[in-house]
Amino acid sequence: MKPMQDSWQFDTQCIHGGYTPDPVSHSRQVPLYMTSSYTFDSSEEAAAVFSTEKEGYIYTRINNPTNAVLEERMALLEGLEAGLTTSTGLSATLLVLLSLAQVGDEIALSPKLYGGAYRQFSYNAPRMGITPVWVDVDDPQGWEKAISPKTRFLYLETPGNPTLNVIDIAHVAQLAKQHGIPLVVDNTFCTPYLQRPADLGADIVIHSTTKYLAGNSTAMGGIVLGSQDYINRVRGEDYRNVGPAASPFNSWLILLSLETLPLRMDKHCSNAKAVVQYLENHPAVEKVIYPGLASHPDHAIAQKQMRDFGAMVAFEIKGGVSAGKAFIDNLKLCSLVANLGDARTLAIHPASTTHLPLSEEEQRVAGITPGLIRLSVGIENPKDILADVEQALAKIQSAPKMTSR
Ligand SMILES: Cc1ncc(COP(=O)(O)O)c(C=O)c1O
């Protein structure tokens, strides 16, 4: 008999959600079904599965039992009905775009997005005849102004990568409802442990599972979560036709990491607070951006919708681009990596890396300043993280004066 999974607490769901030991092997851990295809007992049965009269697996591009456990577990954790695992986070955003909009439509979205998502919406969407209308998220009327009768969905990321601006999900969800269109939220930075957009009215939640959910820079993955009807439609149409399915091995790795998500997130958050406190008092640092700081312009919203403030920290180094790059080059424990949400502390200088393909004006709109550093604070001992940041900042201060861009 299937356990009463809906009634379990969050940390229990992380370990057990979506899986009951299968009746054949009784395997305690979720089995890795590393297969592309599945047999049918007869052509009659095949026809029934193909026509969706009968539940069953056809081909891993459409569904897979290991991927299915991750889909169900994540749906339980996000408080949504169903999920669809994808090869990467960006294939999850692409599926949203393909499934909700077409030629002649518009989408209204925050420009404060991960650089890759910004490029997908600003470059690929127009090539499909879909117009991105960028919302001025600092204007309280910004979303309303961006919505027209052609708008098919609203899209946001909060906290935004890498500017860490926070958007009031409940407010935007209410507008979406008024206009009868879905709100899509990228919840990658928070994971459902820190923020549950569906509880605040979002209709669809996506993740790059490559980040905190995988947790250790092993697997690429993404997921789209929403109503059962929406997920069934996407699985049967765009997902099946376009082919962005997840590797079952990656889903299996992500399922293992999910078991420790609450423990890791608590440690990530407490380490991040230690780093923030240190940076705030450092003379080489112009400004620290962290939703947990009272000085953060969106602190009140963050307090309202997040359980804790996450482990992404941004700060502006005095001395612009050259100082930003020098800080990164002097780090020893922290790695220069184009990823986040790892057990290891990672650092990057967005202006010269993730956001380099954007023009200076686009960088400005996306909130990327010349000396901005993004830290993804890991779960090492905080003393070691602070010592590394301290020695790298000390080297910059003792170097000949930098010129800003
Ligand atoms: C917030 C956010 N969403 C989506 C993505 C894209 O995910 P992936 O790299 O798995 O395609 C990223 C990647 O950094 C991200 O930071």
Whether the pLDDT of residue 193 is over 90: the answer is yes
328-361 pLDDT, tens per residue?
Answer: 999 999 999 989 999 999 999 988 888 787 787 8
Co-location of 33 and 175 in the same domain: yes
Task: Answer for the pair 48, 41: CB distance below 8 angstroms, yes or no.
Answer: no
Task: Answer for the pair 302, 166: CB distance below 8 angstroms, yes or no.
Answer: yes
Whether the pLDDT of residue 131 is over 50: the answer is yes
Q: Which residue has the higher pLDDT, 171 or 7?
A: 171
Residue at token pair 């001992």: 381
Whether the pLDDT of residue 370 is over 50: the answer is yes
Looking at residue 129, its amino acid is G
Determine whether the shortest distance from the Cβ of 305 to ligand 1 is under 6 A. Answer: no
List the residue whose alpha carbon is closest to atom 2 of ligand 1. 114
Q: d(Cα 388, Cα 345) in Å, to the nearest integer? A: 10
Co-location of 218 and 321 in the same domain: no
How far CA 346 is from CA of 194, 280, 374, 377, 385, in Å, comes to: 20, 19, 8, 7, 10
Q: Report the nearest atom of ligand 1 relative to the CA of 339.
A: 14
Q: Vertex 26, ends 20 and 28: CA angle to 5°?
A: 65
User: Which pLDDT score is estimated for 39?
Assistant: 97
Give the mean pLDDT of the chain: 94
Q: Which long-range contacts (CB under 8 A, 24 or more apart) does 386-389 make?
A: 386/274, 386/275, 386/278, 387/333, 388/331, 388/332, 388/333, 388/334, 388/345, 389/275, 389/278, 389/279, 389/331, 389/334
User: Which pLDDT score is estimated for 403?
Assistant: 46
Task: Answer for the pair 153, 107: CB distance below 8 angstroms, yes or no.
Answer: yes
User: Which pLDDT score is estimated for 6?
Assistant: 77
Q: d(Cα 335, Cα 350) in Å, to the nearest integer? A: 14
* Structural domain contains residue 147: yes
Which residues are CB-contacts of 35 (< 8 A; sequence separation ≥ 6)?
60, 64, 248
Whether the pLDDT of residue 279 is over 80: the answer is yes
User: Which pLDDT score is estimated for 400?
Assistant: 59
List the residue whose alpha carbon is closest to atom 16 of ligand 1. 114
Co-location of 281 and 348 in the same domain: yes
List the residue whose alpha carbon is closest to atom 9 of ligand 1. 89
* Structural domain contains residue 267: yes
Co-location of 210 and 349 in the same domain: no
* Structural domain contains residue 215: yes
Whether the pLDDT of residue 399 is over 90: the answer is no
The residue-averaged pLDDT of 274-278 equals 98
* Structural domain contains residue 181: yes
Q: Which residues pair with 245 in a beta bridge?
A: 86
Compute, in degrees rounded to 10, the torsion defined by CA atoms 154, 160, 166, 168. Answer: 10
Task: Answer for the pair 217, 226: CB distance below 8 angstroms, yes or no.
Answer: no
Domain boundary among 230, 258, 286: 258
User: Which pLDDT score is estimated for 1?
Assistant: 37
* Mutate-to-test residue for ligand 1 from 90, 121, 342, highest number of ligand atoms within 8 A of CB: 90
Residue 12's domain spans which residues? 7-258
Q: What is the pTM of this model?
A: 0.95
Residue of 33, 57, 114, 212 with catalytic role: 114
Determine whether the shortest distance from the Cβ of 210 to ligand 1 is under 6 A. Answer: yes
Whether the pLDDT of residue 196 is over 50: the answer is yes
pLDDT-above-90 percentage for the chain: 87
User: Quick check: is 118 catalytic?
Assistant: no
289-327 pLDDT, tens per residue?
Answer: 999 999 999 999 999 999 999 999 999 999 988 999 999
Whether the pLDDT of residue 401 is over 70: the answer is no
* Structural domain contains residue 1: no
* Structural domain contains residue 48: yes
The residue-averaged pLDDT of 189-198 equals 98
Q: What is the CATH number of the domain that holds 283?
A: 3.90.1150.10
- In terms of DSSP bridges, do strands 131-134 and 106-109 run parallel, antiparallel, or are they unpaired? parallel
Co-location of 169 and 277 in the same domain: no
User: Which pLDDT score is estimated for 62?
Assistant: 97
Domain boundary among 243, 258, 273: 258
Determine whether the shortest distance from the Cβ of 291 to ligand 1 is under 6 A. Answer: no
**Where would I find the H helices in 32-153?**
43-50, 65-78, 89-100, 115-119, 125-127, 142-146
| Pick from 2-11, 131-140, 172-181: least confident | 2-11
Q: d(Cα 182, Cα 203) in Å, to the nearest integer? A: 6
* Structural domain contains residue 289: yes
Q: How many domains does the chain have?
A: 2
Co-location of 390 and 287 in the same domain: yes
DSSP symbol at 143: H
* Structural domain contains residue 405: no
Determine whether the shortest distance from the Cβ of 369 to ligand 1 is under 6 A. Answer: no
Co-location of 337 and 355 in the same domain: yes
The residue-averaged pLDDT of 128-143 equals 96
Q: d(Cα 354, Cα 402) in Å, to the nearest integer? A: 22
Residue at token pair 């749906």: 75
Q: d(Cα 345, Cα 333) in Å, to the nearest integer? A: 8
Give distance in angstroms: CA of 55 to centre of ligand 1.
Answer: 32
User: Which pLDDT score is estimated for 404?
Assistant: 43
Q: d(Cα 162, Cα 56) in Å, to the nearest integer? A: 41
Co-location of 201 and 240 in the same domain: yes
Domain boundary among 258, 293, 324: 258
Co-location of 354 and 305 in the same domain: yes
What are 132's two structure tokens?
């991105």
User: Which pLDDT score is estimated for 28?
Assistant: 96
What are 243's two structure tokens?
């082919």
User: Which pLDDT score is estimated for 405?
Assistant: 42
Q: What is the CATH number of the domain that holds 242?
A: 3.40.640.10
Co-location of 18 and 133 in the same domain: yes
Co-location of 156 and 276 in the same domain: no
| Pick from 59-68, 94-103, 153-162, 393-402: least confident | 393-402
Co-location of 23 and 171 in the same domain: yes
Q: Report the nearest atom of ligand 1 relative to the CA of 91.
A: 11
Task: Answer for the pair 83, 72: CB distance below 8 angstroms, yes or no.
Answer: yes
